[in-house]
Chain A
Amino acid sequence: MLQPSQPPADHFELRFILNGEAICVRVAPQDRLLDVLREHLHQTGTKEGCGEGECGACTVELDGLPANSCLVPAYQVRGRHVTTVESLSQEAVSNLHASGATQCGACTPGVAMMARWIVRHPRLLERHRVRALMAGNLCRCTGYDGIVEGIEADLEATGAAALPVARR
């Protein structure tokens, strides 16, 4: 008959910092960070779009750098800082809202996380274009202009000096 599943013996405790808060959760060795967030912690903002590291819908920040959480083994997150879309305030996304950066919303958490990272590190634009930085976030709805314009509005709003030529 159908038995409820018991946590197997190989599960272990994973401790890490999630959006600034210390977390302790039991995970399986084969869990991905994406599974920990969605299944164990019920933080469903981070989405699974492909499981291959192609679409970027699962993007989180890991120790300050963007990563596809579908490709991060849970055990590698021990002691590290993870930031997810749940940390974004309405103010933080208001330019993306106004510019039409979201339509169906399935790619949006990953897009919002990349946008946040870019805007917090405007010096990236000395070496990278916005479109190249966003190329790991597939969107099927917007055609990307709404996303790029929202990020550019955020960059302008940070009051940084005139954006470098490479920005597009």
Chain B
Amino acid sequence: MFATRINDPPGATTRAAGPRFAPIVADWDNAPDEDAMKAMKRREGLAKLTGRERYLDDLPLPVGGLWAATVRSREARGMLRAVRFGEGVAWDDFVIVDHRDIPGQNVVVLIEDDQPVLASSEVRHVHEPVLLLAHPSRAALRHAVRAVSIEIEPQVPVLDVTTQPRPEQLQYNDDNVFKHLSVNKGDISQGFESAVHVIEGAYATGAQEHVYLETQGMLATLEAGDGEGDVVVVRGSMQCPYYVHRALMTALDRPAHRVRVIQTPTGGCFGGKEEFPSMLAIHAALLALKAQRAVKLVYERSEDLAVSTKRHAAWIHHRTALDATGRLLAQDIEIAMDAGAYVTLSPVVLSRAVIHAAGPYRCPNVRIRGRSMLSNRVPSGAFRGFGAPQAHFASERHMDRVAAALGLDPVTLRQRNLLRDGDCTATGQRITDGSDRQGLLRRALEMADWEHKREQHRVWNASERWHRRGIGLAVFHHGAGFTGSGEVDLASEVHVAGLEDGRVEVLAAATEMGQGTITVLTQLAAARLGLDPEQVLVAEPDTARVPDSGPTVASRTAMIVGRLVERAADDLLARLGSRPQPGDGQALSRAIVAWHRAHPGRTLLGRARYQPPAGIVWDDQRYRGDAYGAYAWAAYVAEVEVDLTTYAARVIDFVAVQEVGKVLNEVLARGQIQGGVVQGIGWALSEEIVSRNGAMVNAQLTNYIIPTCDDTPRIRVAFEENPYPHGAQGSKGIGELPMDGPGPAIANAIAAALDVDPRVLPLRPERIMALVEP
């Protein structure tokens, strides 16, 4: 079922940090070879570097178009009583939309139909949208927003999910729990009965804001359809054009062909533009329909920070049984997450947290119980890692504490318990991929100079008055693609078209958000067809033109959509009657041109639809079986230095070693890891949402602290390879993996540096001070 390891000489495919500067591939006379492909430069890179790439806000407002603004609740919870329009504003000059203007359902379609487009009778979180305004002048809009007062009769909000809700706080079922999930393996009571050691611990992680550098934005226009009426066209910054398309259909009560969604070049997402953009798209469209004009809705930074979705805060409890030698006998894990006011994607985030909660370890008896709780806060949503970073923080911090309690080296404890081929995970999935998890760990420790550094720190710490250094480890895994039958349900489809001029076009809904979609899909198509990459176009994700290849999430794009590109390319060749001729791209182009001459007016389209790999069995009722087709594996090491005058910790060295099946592009892959690690460092050390009454009060980039260039060291990256046969060219997912490691590695390093026991992220200086001097 799974491939054996490739037999390359050591070092050939596992280069640390990649080549310094990949030269532009000049020689295309022969088949583009694998190394050249791996070195292909980002296709849209020059446009971005010279300011020519146009993002949503760069698009001019069409003539006669209007700007939009949102009027929001100031209460965390309550009944909507009145909307009053104040003096001093020429209200007749404004287009005003409220819930009554929604043609279809007042629902932002996602998993459950609980989140309204606009509040109608009640509000459930601060900043919940109530009213929309449009006007030709942005300045006039700002004045107008200030002049609207929304009268709300407050109700008692839920702001703390760790305590039982009172009866008057119940807003979902009888317990405010959006989702319960549990994973059961073996019999944990047996495990605890035979235990020599039992270690417990409670851990918590904070919410996190994505801080994509381009804020949320949408432009809605009305364009002529063919006969049946107009088409609402929404352009904007997003990850998932078809999610937006579905949401628009439901809210506007329009059939598929009367809604069109186009992703514009997008300045960063990290999950923050997975589901949230649907709200903006509907808002812009409602105004456009009412005004019969184009409408542009762009969030300013402080609004974006305050009102958009956040990573779920989590509280995780571990109770672990081990034998005398430190082998895991039982793991009993509880997870609670703060979902915010509406369900959004919380059940799926919980799912991933629950599935990863026990770590990459072998244990015969496991019970994991998770619950996702309602609170009257801005809804939590997708964020890179999607529950796994929270789970791995708890799990890996706990492992270090277990090691300390048993008097074991933290490395030895991992080595003793890491999954081996033939072992089963907590959901009963047998691991047989042949990945060398022990080797990954060894390599990370070697690159990080682990033993030597630990000794160095002992000496250094004893001689330094005001600084301490420590080194910490995290070993973890990340399932790629949608859980269980998710990919089957998505039924993704990709087309590869042969164009009249002999070039090909890849048609997929996968979006470029900086992770390299355009370049990688180009590479895959070019390699499969033996074409010069310049002969491959990647279509703009436009629902009028591209099939639904699924959302650009879950680290699935290269692995799953890329594989569909390969199969669609094969199908194209089949329709041409060609066999793949390695290296003869020109012949292929000629064949495509000839086909068009022979079939004027027709479309030459290779197609592929998702097929699950054989033998993957997942039971969604009992939450057992093969949760993911493939896992990426990783070992990260963080070295920190703590300033004892300020209690501020900083990372002075970071090693990230991972096996992601196959590295498709050296620079892009390395960039994903480095970027994810730095985002993880921010989550671990400085990013905190300060709230009062459920509202984020530090909604400015001066007060929500992400790392600058001078706050992080060089991130040293190495890849191992072990091709996954069902991923494009053997690749597994890579984008989210790097978020899982930094949190626990850094916490463990700080624990080593200061001999303290951190349990909560972020480890801001104030928190470290409390650990050192309670």
Contacts and interface: CB of A to CB of B under 8 A. Distances in A.
Nearest to A49: B213
Interface stretch (A9-17, A50-58, A73-81, A159-167): A50-58
Interface in A28-71: 38, 42-52, 54-55, 57
Contacts of B136: 2-5
Contacts of B270: 140
B647 to A, nearest CB: 22
Interface in B36-90: 41-42, 44-55, 57-58, 60, 64, 66
B765 interface: no
Contacts of A3: 93, 136
A146 B674 contact: yes
A102 B42 contact: yes
Give the interface centre of B269, B671, B709, B711 by most chain A CB atoms within 10 Å.
B709
A44 B268 contact: no
B213 A140 contact: yes
Give the interface centre of A89, A144, A146 by most chain B CB atoms within 10 Å.
A144
A60 to B, nearest CB: 11
B523 interface: no
Contacts of A96: 49
Nearest to B301: A50
B580 interface: no
A104 B46 contact: no
B667 A107 contact: no
B146 interface: no
A71 to B, nearest CB: 12
Nearest to B92: A1
Contacts, number: 204
B737 to A, nearest CB: 14
Contacts of B702: 52, 54
Contacts of B48: 102, 104-105, 108
Given A49-B214, A103-B516, A135 B709 contact: yes
Given A55-B701, A97-B41, A88 B51 contact: yes
B300 interface: yes
Contacts of A143: 671, 673-679, 712, 715
A43 B54 CA distance: 11
A106 interface: yes
B301 A106 contact: no
Give the interface centre of B53, B211, B708, B714 by most chain A CB atoms within 10 Å.
B708
A142 B136 CA distance: 37
Sort chain A's interface into a size bin: 35 or more
B267 A104 contact: yes
Given A50-B301, A103-B514, A147 B44 contact: no
Contacts of A99: 20-21, 667
Contact of B679 (A50, A104, A140): A140
A49 B51 CA distance: 14
A109 B300 CA distance: 19
A104 B51 contact: no
Contacts of B92: 1
A107 B675 CA distance: 13
Give the interface centre of B22, B46, B57 by most chain A CB atoms within 10 Å.
B46
Contacts of A94: 46
A40 B24 CA distance: 37
Interface string B1-38: 00000000000000000001111100000000000000
Nearest to B516: A103
B63 to A, nearest CB: 9
A105 B300 CA distance: 18
Give the interface centre of B51, B211, B711 by most chain A CB atoms within 10 Å.
B51
Interface in A132-151: 132, 134-149
13 contacts: A42-B60, A85-B50, A98-B41, A100-B670, A103-B42, A104-B267, A108-B48, A112-B49, A135-B708, A138-B211, A140-B675, A142-B674, A146-B674
Given A98-B41, A104-B213, A146-B670, 10 more contacts: A2-B136, A47-B55, A47-B214, A96-B49, A97-B49, A105-B55, A106-B212, A139-B213, A141-B514, A145-B715
Of all A-B residue pairs in the complex, the 8 with the closest CB atoms, nearest first, are A45-B51, A106-B267, A104-B514, A105-B48, A143-B674, A103-B514, A106-B213, A85-B51
